[in-house]
Structure 1
Amino acid sequence: MVFPIAFESNDEKRPVLRFKDKGGVEHPYVIADSPLAKRLSGLTQIMDDLKHAHELMAMIKNIENSEVAYSLWMSAIVTYGKCFATAKGRKSKIEEDHVRRVGGDAIAFHNSLLSMRNEYFAHAGVNEYEKASTVIILRPESLGKRVEAVNHFNVKHSKPSEEFCIYFCHLCRKLYDVVESIGEDVHQRVLEEYQAMNVDELYEKTEA
């Protein structure tokens, strides 16, 4: 049974989490803290990130402002990269093996995305997406040779190609399906884990 999640404000105007069934009856709940439950929470965060990255990239094609397009592109790539990063808060991450399940040239594209994140968006590395040069301006030889000035130019890609956007969105959707499939198994195991516990002790730990 799936219970809709609702946030309500209490007297202090703080959001309070509520779970009500279809009949409107509110149910108490326990925040699951077993290793298996934390793994499930991490998987749901990954699914949310993949969905968010997909939505950000899908918006770019309709954006004409280059700065807005760049910001969406950067956010999509950084969010995608989170799914593969090890962090203390999350107990789950996806690996290259999960990308391989997508098939085709998914691994090569995936590696290019992580490189883009590391060398372009997150750090100032050597990359093919931006170039900065200092230029020495010389006087025309007919007027006498001389150094006239120093100038500079910066060039960067502000918007990915349509083909890039399409394949990125495809990869996010396929990886979402992979993680969702893993999550379904973990979800069932968490349910069985807590059903096997002392129910009276669970009620003593309820949040509502």
Structure 2
Amino acid sequence: MKDDWKKQELLDKKTGNVERVYTYKQVRCKRVVHSSTLALQLAGYTLIEKDLRSVSTWLSEIAKRHVDGPTHESDHHNRSTNRENYDIIKGLFVAALTFYGKCFSQCEGRRTKLNRSQIGDSFREMHDVCISYRNNFAAHSGAALFETAQIAIVFPRKYKNNVPPRIYRELNQPDLIWADDTDDASFVNLVEHVRTLALEKIDKLTTKIIEEEVLPKGFEYWSRR
């Protein structure tokens, strides 16, 4: 079906400001910024949903690059020799963990956040793992010691030829946590599950604002704004 509504975004390349122009049947519409409590909640969920879409994009790129590294299986540990590739993967993984965790944190500029209780039972274990990695690895090095560094002094067992000792820096840092394609509760599926929660909130709040705050005040009220 034809959609008579159109939106155009005009970017000022010098200032970075964006002007949004809306038309109905090619006629420019009036735009009123609404800032009620419900509207601010809707704006918050909009930011959350965008964050989760970004996480999905980064995880998709990880999946393309992740060919010989670790899975989420506890008995499968592998370390790739392609460090350039896995340094990029690690950056994407940290970004994904950070943005995912942000959706469950109280952030300035957002009036809402998601809660663990909203997540389906089958996804909660993976959610807890991701939040733990976010808190103890991505955001800062925590008590869980997901990353460690030790300084080792190494020298021959028998002192010969005046060989001086060497200092070695021993670093252990995860590249990512990953589940195989058959795991329904993978990080990828968790993100899509959580994104549906945000979309449901967006739909409900949109309907609520229209029915309770916009339509009751009538056309004349909004025309004068």
Work out whether the TM-score is over 0.5: yes
* Structure 1 partner of 2:131: 114
Deviation at 1:174, TM superposition (A): 1.2
Retained in 2: the 8 A contact 1:129–1:157?
yes
* Structure 2 partner of 1:178: 197
Matched, 1:163 2:163: no
* Structure 2 partner of 1:200: 220
Amino acid at match of 2:43: S
Write out per-residue CA displacement over residues 58-108 of structure 1, whole angstroms, 9 at most, x where no aligned residue: 111223712211111111110101110112311111101111xx231x112
* Structure 1 partner of 2:20: 17
Gaps of 5+ in 1: none
Q: Distance in 1 between matches of 2:18 and 2:136?
A: 39
Retained in 2: the 8 A contact 1:61–1:162?
no
Matched, 1:57 2:74: no
* Structure 2 partner of 1:36: 38
Retained in 2: the 8 A contact 1:60–1:69?
yes
Retained in 2: the 8 A contact 1:5–1:17?
yes
Q: Distance in 2 between matches of 1:149 and 1:12?
A: 55
Identity over aligned pairs, percent: 18
After TM superposition, the structure 1 stretch with the greater mean CA deviation from structure 2, 191-200 or 6-15, is: 6-15
Gaps of 5+ in 2: 67-84
Mapping for residues 77-96 of structure 1, pairs under 5 Å: 77-96=97-116
* Structure 2 partner of 1:48: 50
Aligned length: 201
Write out per-residue CA displacement over residues 6-32 of structure 1, whole angstroms, 9 at most, x where no aligned residue: 2125798753111123x2222111111
Q: Distance in 1 between matches of 2:209 and 2:4?
A: 14
Write out per-residue CA displacement over residues 163-203 of structure 1, whole angstroms, 9 at most, x where no aligned residue: 39971110111111122122212111101211212543422
User: Of 151, 168, 171, which residue of structure 1 is paired with 2:168?
Assistant: 151
Q: Distance in 2 between matches of 1:161 and 1:9?
A: 39
Amino acid at match of 2:21: R
Q: Distance in 1 between matches of 2:4 and 2:187?
A: 31
**Partner SS for 1:119:** helix
Retained in 2: the 8 A contact 1:54–1:168?
no
Retained in 1: the 8 A contact 2:136–2:146?
no
Q: Distance in 1 between matches of 2:217 and 2:32?
A: 12
Deviation at 1:151, TM superposition (A): 2.1
Write out per-residue CA displacement over residues 23-60 of structure 1, whole angstroms, 9 at most, x where no aligned residue: 22221111110001111111111111111111111111
Amino acid at match of 1:16: E
Which has the higher relative contact order, 1 or 2, with Cα contacts under 8 A spaced 6 or more apart? Answer: 1
**Partner SS for 1:39:** helix
**Partner SS for 1:41:** helix
What root-mean-square deviation, in Å, do the aligned CA atoms of Structure 1 and Structure 2 show? 2.9
TM-score for both structures, normalised by structure 1: 0.84
**Partner SS for 2:217:** coil
After TM superposition, the structure 1 stretch with the greater mean CA deviation from structure 2, 59-68 or 171-180, is: 59-68
